[in-house]
Chains A and B, each alone.
Chain A
Amino acid sequence: MSNWLKVCPLEDIPRLGSRVVNNGDIDIAVFRNAVDEVFAVDDRCPHKGGPLSQGIVFDRRVACPLHGTTIHLDTGEAAAPDKGCTHKYRVRVDKGDVYLNLG
């Protein structure tokens, strides 16, 4: 028993892509970038609530699919000049599996 939830094998998230994880309550977007870093944030853009999981991933950022607000995945902050922040979760990869901490 731990706060760390096993999400899926890293292989199940495409490079520069994402998966949506639902905890029965909210959607969380889990991203994998080109160098296999993983990030997890609330799947809601601070601008107008767009599903960030559906955006284009580049470097350590994602562009919201609705109006293009760019979010820094490592902080959850919107890139300037936009303002706002989406909640960020701890996430890690262990032996090829992705774990998410909702604590």
Chain B
Amino acid sequence: MTHTTKLKKTRLTVIGNGMAGIRTLEELLKLAPDMYDITVFGAEPHGNYNRILLSPVLAGEMTIKDIMLNDVDWYAQNGITLHLGKKIAQIDRVRRKVIAVDGTETDYDRLLLATGSNPVMLPVPGNDLPGVIAYRDIKDTDEMIEAAAHYRHAVVIGGGLLGLEAANGLKLRGMDVTVVHLMPWLMERQLDRTAAGLLQKSLEAKGLKFLLGKQTVGLIAGESGRVCAIKLKPALSNVEGDGETLPADLVVMAVGIRPSTELAEAAGLHCNRGVVVNDTLQTYDPRIYAVGECVSHRGIAYGLVAPLFEQAKVCANHLAQFGISRYTGSVTSTKLKVTGIDLFSAGDFIGGEGAEEIVLSDPAGGVYKKLVIKDDKIVGGVLYGDTTDGSWYFQLLRNGQNIRELRNHLMFGQNHLGNAGHQGRSSAADLPDDFEVCGCNGVCKGTIVKSIKEQGLFTLEDVRKHTRASSSCGSCTGLVEQILSSVVGGAYAPQDASKKPMCGCTEYTHEDVRRAIRKHRLLSIPETMRFMEWKTPNGCPSCRPALNYYLMCAFPHEVQDDPRSRFINERVHANIQKDGSYSVLPRMYGGVTTPAELRRIADVAEKYRVPAVKVTGGQRIGLLGVKKDELPGIWRDLGMPSGHAYGKALRTVKTCVGSEWCRFGVQDSTALGILLEKTFERMWTPHKTKLAVSGCPRNCAEATIKDVGIVGVDSGWEIYIAGNGGIKAEVCEFLVKVGTQQEVLEYAGAFMQLYREEAHYLDRTVHFVQRAGLDHVKRRIVEDAAGRRALYARLLDALSVEKDPWAERVAGVEAREFSTIRFFDKHETKEKDNEQLAESLSA
């Protein structure tokens, strides 16, 4: 062992052992695991636990053990010094140290404040009596559980989110519970009067009592010294004695929280209803950062978990000295975690001047939905009784998406009718635990719920990683999101897709990367990764294929395709099957074949003993079960071009018989289909692209559920775009009507080039058009003739360099890919007495 001088690491000290502080450390350890010597101080005697799940603990649905996020071992494993049960008394900014109440001192180079918030205690007589508590931590929860075992009457002051969850839990533990609320209706910061009324009714049905518009005057002690009653008066009355008294053995104050800033203020840090931070979560002392409920960012202090996580990510990025992300504030949504009640609220749900409302009200059926819209954008909403589409609305809200096109069916939610794979169910709340949510990976609801609770999951990505649910075809994503939000409540926020990094290897979005490739003329994957400061040495299976596609799309003449960054199917130009064999699908233009072609296919199938021959859904013939090493021979004997049935590329152009033969046909759909397929074959696209041409509006080629569908009418052709017949059936949007075949080529080609240039990798045309807007597409393709011709010219130019990949491989390209190295003398080489020699060679 050589002796090396150990460099002293930078010291990071964290005050606060809650969700925001520890989440920041987790994000930091991902980015820079060895950068800091970390010390954490927590005032509570526990590891980091999931505070938002205290309500289910109180309700008896979970235990404290279930809600631990980081146990004490976690800190040890990550080399973090943990001081539990030690409250910090002072921050000494001059000598850069923090001092705990018990005298423990720790130096810092960087300090992270995550002191959270304090519950507000009403300044009324008796607020310090035994039996009067707040609802904030494990201690409070234990005290409530304890009280429920010995006393009868509970009063919860505050009819907000937290108060109602406390009341529900105490009721479930057998207490007689009354909620006292100052305002005229419940959860007035999340709900309008109608929704609050429905909520009150269903909570009353669970046995809760409510006194609304009442102000607490004082708390009265009984003989034992413990609180025994509460005195109230009408909120608007000034008359003394105009009150009433209620028995109360337990009083829970849930009237709000206040950022905990005492330490920061005492240390002279600028505070204004929270420790003031900038967009990098830095306080006025550049060595000190702050995250979580103690923070005031652009004048807002957040009390929900989702924004804290966003802050944690940004703060970690700056602590790791990456310096490239900003926190610009959060739009929050709320979900009440009371079993059996479905309630969702987000944004500005009241509206006001210049706002419009769309309301669906069915009080008898217990359903109320209201969306508030301003300038064709959703700015807020309340859903009660049916929150199926909460995530979707919230996403539209956060992305600021123009909803003009969706307006007439917005209220009916995202059309789930076309979804396959989960028995057509679209509401997760009433599903049994053994219901198979994800039909691709066979994952049941109970498994998902269990993982979310036990592994402490908060995001869709986490759930996908741990359970595989929603990770394949994605059709059950809506259900999984609902399950997630029903377990973690407002802590779940769907990610803002427009700001989402490409993958874990980078902070940059798809748009950022495409822009940089074009602007700086980046010509290879390593060059792009260097320029964009990739965090991994050579990317991952998610970003490499995307980069390869973006590069080839931007510079088709200069960029060399990288087979090692292609998924297997595109690398070997055949589709891998579950047993590791491959399928071969030659191109049959427009679904038309000849006896000679059929004979060749039959001969090949016999010669190579192909196990299965199948007519495909795309009007061609597939050979299934082919061994990889035999692919080049089969391609050679077939003498037909690749059908690209394996690629994110132009697949088939499906056609009907058309006017040549059909007595109804008005246009020659077969001829146009063949022309389209011959023009656009070998076209790589962000995802697979399917075309179809029908010769009359009877539409036998099912053209209106394709990426581009053409329907012949007597006077020409109608062009439809962005349909999909797969995971979720989507009917096309009408783009334009044209007169000639040549125009069809130009319009369809221009649209596909726009899709190629602007879509995210793995977006189908339907996703692209939803994101970009049909207006945008029409402007570029229909209204801008010069732009359309330029797009079309760029597509033809890109296609001019593409050769038939099968013919290339028959001629010897990538030959090693198709040859296994074989040894048959295994017995000879396994002799034991050679082991020693082997050891010496390997040493």
Contacts and interface: CB of A to CB of B under 8 A. Distances in A.
A58 B539 contact: yes
Nearest to B471: A68
A4 B838 contact: yes
Closest 6 CB pairs of A and B: A63-B541, A65-B568, A56-B541, A16-B564, A3-B838, A54-B568
Interface string A88-103: 0010101000010111
Given A2-B838, A3-B829, A19-B816, A24 B822 contact: yes
Interface in A75-95: 81, 90, 92, 94
B580 interface: yes
A56 B567 contact: yes
A58 B536 contact: yes
B565 interface: yes
Interface string B811-832: 0000010001111111011110
Contacts of B824: 23-24
B538 A22 contact: no
Interface centre among B545, B820, B829, B841 (most CB of A within 10 A): B829
Contacts of A23: 823-824, 826
B578 A51 contact: no
A103 B835 contact: yes
Nearest to B455: A81
A12 interface: yes
B842 interface: yes
Interface residues of B, number: 42
A16 B820 CA distance: 17
B617 to A, nearest CB: 22
B834 A54 contact: no
Given A2-B841, A16-B538, A55-B541, A22 B568 contact: no
Given A3-B835, A22-B821, A58-B536, A102 B826 contact: yes
Nearest to B505: A58
Interface string A31-57: 001110000000000001111001111
Interface centre among B540, B541, B563 (most CB of A within 10 A): B541
A66 B567 CA distance: 10
A77 to B, nearest CB: 16
A27 interface: yes
A62 to B, nearest CB: 9
A17 B838 contact: no
Nearest to A8: B821
Interface in A1-18: 1-5, 7-8, 12, 14-17
B826 A25 contact: yes
B837 interface: yes
Nearest to B840: A2
Given A1-B834, A2-B838, A90-B842, A55 B568 contact: yes
A75 to B, nearest CB: 18
Contacts of B829: 1-3, 5, 102
Interface in B19-43: none
Given A23-B826, A34-B537, A34-B538, A7 B580 contact: no
26 contacts: A1-B828, A1-B834, A2-B837, A3-B831, A3-B834, A3-B835, A3-B837, A4-B838, A5-B823, A7-B821, A8-B821, A14-B564, A16-B565, A20-B820, A21-B820, A21-B822, A22-B820, A24-B826, A58-B540, A67-B468, A67-B472, A81-B465, A92-B841, A92-B842, A102-B830, A103-B838
Contacts of A49: 580
Contacts of B831: 1, 3
A102 B821 CA distance: 14
B822 A48 contact: no
B698 interface: no
A22 B568 CA distance: 20
A1 B825 CA distance: 12
B576 A66 contact: yes
Contacts of A14: 563-564, 816
A12 B572 CA distance: 17
B820 A27 contact: yes
A64 to B, nearest CB: 9
B583 to A, nearest CB: 14
Nearest to A16: B564
A97 B346 CA distance: 63
Interface in B539-588: 539-541, 544-545, 563-565, 567-568, 571-572, 576, 578, 580
B466 interface: yes
A101 B536 contact: no
Contacts of B567: 56, 65
Interface string B449-470: 0000001000000000110100
A19 B544 CA distance: 20
A56 B828 CA distance: 33
A1 B465 CA distance: 46
Given A3-B829, A56-B565, A57-B564, A22 B536 contact: no
Interface in B97-131: none
A39 to B, nearest CB: 14
A58 B538 contact: yes
Contacts of B545: 56
A46 B823 CA distance: 24
A2 B544 CA distance: 39
Given A14-B816, A21-B823, A65-B567, A2 B541 contact: no
A65 B576 contact: yes
Contacts of A20: 820-821
A36 to B, nearest CB: 13
Contact of A59 (B538, B564, B820): B538
A42 to B, nearest CB: 13
Interface string B426-459: 0000000000000000000000000000010000
Contacts of A8: 821
A103 B578 CA distance: 30
B380 to A, nearest CB: 36
Contacts of B541: 55-56, 58, 63, 68, 70
Given A4-B838, A48-B578, A56 B821 contact: no
Nearest to A79: B465
Contacts of B826: 23-25, 102
Contacts of B564: 14-17, 56-57
B471 to A, nearest CB: 8
A70 B828 CA distance: 34
Contacts of A1: 828-829, 831, 834
A32 B563 CA distance: 14
Contacts of A63: 540-541
A58 B544 contact: yes
A54 B576 contact: yes
A12 B466 CA distance: 37
A51 B816 contact: no
B538 to A, nearest CB: 5
A37 to B, nearest CB: 11
A68 B568 CA distance: 12
A35 to B, nearest CB: 8
Contacts of B838: 2-4, 101, 103
Nearest to B841: A4
Contacts of B472: 67
Contact of A12 (B544, B816, B820, B837): B816
Contacts of B571: 54
A15 B455 CA distance: 37
A23 to B, nearest CB: 4
Contacts of A50: 580
Given A20-B820, A54-B572, A58-B540, 18 more contacts: A1-B834, A2-B837, A2-B841, A4-B842, A16-B564, A17-B563, A22-B822, A24-B826, A34-B537, A48-B578, A54-B571, A57-B564, A66-B576, A67-B472, A81-B455, A101-B838, A102-B826, A102-B829
Nearest to A1: B834
Contacts of B830: 3, 102-103
A51 B568 CA distance: 10
